[in-house]
Structure 1
Amino acid sequence: MPTPHYGQPRYRTIADELTGRIESGVIPLGTLMPPESALTAEFHASRGTVRQAIAVLREAGIVATAHGRGTYVVTHGTEAIEGSTERQVLADKHLSTLLDVPIGAVLIEIEHVVRGPAGAKSVVRSIRPVQEPAANPGNAPDSAH
């Protein structure tokens, strides 16, 4: 946990710590931010405080949040994610083993193009399982019948 900065709101201290991690490469460009639950535990802060800290990073253009994808780092110094694409892929044997899903399971592949002052620098790809919809609760009708 970072040293408190007296006179500064707690969410701002957390935002500054996370910004430092991004700038130092501990949280790399194009990767997902740690989940709120992990940040609340690490910083001994409420979920609301952590959300305020993430909002500061979002407003500064350091991170972006996409529904169903999470919050990920979009800028790092002079580098920035220029664009993102998302597509569905099927798990082959290798991905099946890595992600502990059956072969043929539907996965989401997200690709970020990272640009620096001199042009394209790298492509960052991440692959994750598709979020399964919640099971039908109780007596809710099942459209498969």
Structure 2
Amino acid sequence: MPTPHYGQPRYRVIADELKARIESGFIPPGALLPAESALTAQFQAARGTVRQAIAALREAGLVTTEHGRGTYATPRRHERGPDEGSETETQQRHVAADAELAALFAVEVGTALMEQQRLTRTNGAVGTVVRTYRLLQTER
């Protein structure tokens, strides 16, 4: 990030930017955050600084890190939106890849995937439904 933010540690600036992306939905719940190497290049920061930022997000409950798989935005259940009548609900389930998903992930039809559905209601009416998919890590 080329603009300095005086008075704030560098990792905090990065954590705040990532937090804003998560809270705005730019990085949706369950989505994989960019790799450390991509974040170091994007923010022009050292790897340790990026790791500190991710640790701060983990402490705040905004992300979870799975060893060998990456860091994901944490799903929120029944959160209140900016509109008092707005509610978001997140559900996860295992699904088998259909032909379209198999082609996208370059796997065989029937491969196990994690589907995450985020449903937003405003005053009881469904406003949006967002589904994200990711490969499950198989035990070997």
Scaled by the length of structure 2, the TM-score of the pair is 0.67
User: CA 1:81 to 1:97, structure 2 compared with 1: closer, same or farther past 3 Å?
Assistant: farther
- Residue of structure 2 equivalent to 1:78: 82
Summarize the Cα distance change of 1:41–1:15 in structure 2 as closer, same or farther, 3 Å threshold. Answer: same
1:12 has 2:18 as partner: no
Pair 1:126 & 2:137 matched: no
CA gap 1:42/1:112 in 2 versus in 1, 3 angstroms: same
Give the count of matched residue pairs: 131
Q: Which runs of no fewer than 5 residues in structure 2 stay unpaired?
A: none
C-alpha offsets along residues 67-121 of structure 1, whole Å, 9 cap, x if unaligned? 46732165796278844322211111111111111112111112233456x4554
Which whole-Å CA distance do the structure 2 matches of 1:10 and 1:86 have between them?
34
The structure number with the bigger radius of gyration is 1
Q: Contact 1:2–1:17 (CA<8 Å) still a contact in 2?
A: no
Q: Which runs of 5+ in 1 are unaligned?
A: 135-145
CA RMSD of aligned residues (A): 3.4
Cα distance, 1:37 vs structure 2:
2.7
Q: Could you say which residue in structure 1 is the equivalent of 2:97?
A: 91
Letter in 2 for 1:65: T
Alignment partners' CA distance in 1, 2:20 and 2:47: 20
Separation in 2 of the partners of 1:104 and 1:3?
A: 47
* CA pair 19-6 structure 1, distance change in 2 beyond 3 A: same
Matched, 1:65 2:78: no
Whether the 8 Å contact between 1:90 and 1:107 is mirrored in structure 2 is yes
Aligned residues with identical type, % of pairs: 49
Q: 8 Å contact 2:113–2:134 — kept in the other structure?
A: yes
